[in-house]
Amino acid sequence: MTKKQDDKIGRAVDIENIDLAQMKLKTVDLPGLVEYAHSVGGFSVVPTEQGVIKGRAMNAMQEQTQERLDMILEQMRTLAKQAKEIQDRVEISHYVYDAEIKFEPVIGKKYFLYEKDDGVKLLSLIGPKDWGNSKSFKSCLAQVRLLSDHTWKVLERFDQESS
């Protein structure tokens, strides 16, 4: 066979010498989406001006809507956090109003919530460090403040060992 005939028929593929890394660089997963001709009879796909304009508009629209969605999500997180804080205030308020209160609490002042040895809760003006040795309670649960809506806000929680 002559060299010319060999070129027409084709040569045998030498599988041993195929560079797969190089082949991967020269191929695409979806050849119909490349912007140049991918076969001998193919033609290049050039976007029209209208396609470019629509593409930019779509990108801008997606960017703007994503920004708005992110902003709304952040607002939802803030609202959820505020709702949780109110829920916590209501919970501690029930706890305080179930306790013994031997005085009239003043809005904006700090108080201490104790648990006595018999399990009864007590609201006091005196902090755990001010009792000295005469304390008649099991533990100080929290330092609280009375808010203007008559809910209580926890300023500090104490563990069982801190009292």
Q: How far apart are CA 159 and CA 142, in angstroms?
A: 9
- Report yes or no: 154 and 146 within 8 Å, Cβ to Cβ: no
pLDDT tens, position by position, for the chain (163 residues)?
A: 555 555 556 666 677 777 777 766 666 666 666 666 666 666 666 666 777 788 888 899 999 999 999 999 999 999 999 999 888 888 889 989 999 999 999 999 999 999 888 888 999 998 888 876 666 677 888 999 999 999 999 998 886 544 3
What residue segments make up the domains of the chain, in order of their start?
Answer: 99-162
| CA-wise closest residue to 138 among 111, 113, 119 | 119
113 Cβ contact partners less than 8 Å away, ≥ 6 residues apart = 95, 96, 99, 121, 122, 123, 124, 140, 141, 142, 143, 144
- Report yes or no: 72 and 78 within 8 Å, Cβ to Cβ: no
Q: How far apart are CA 35 and CA 122, in angstroms?
A: 78
- Report yes or no: 88 and 154 within 8 Å, Cβ to Cβ: yes
Q: What is the pLDDT of residue 143?
A: 93
Q: How far apart are CA 112 and CA 128, in angstroms?
A: 8
Token code pair at residue 74: 């952040």
Q: What is the pLDDT of residue 163?
A: 38
State which H helix or E strand residue 91 sits in: helix 49-97
| CA-wise closest residue to 151 among 101, 104, 87, 102 | 87
Beta strands 100-101 and 121-124, pairing class = parallel
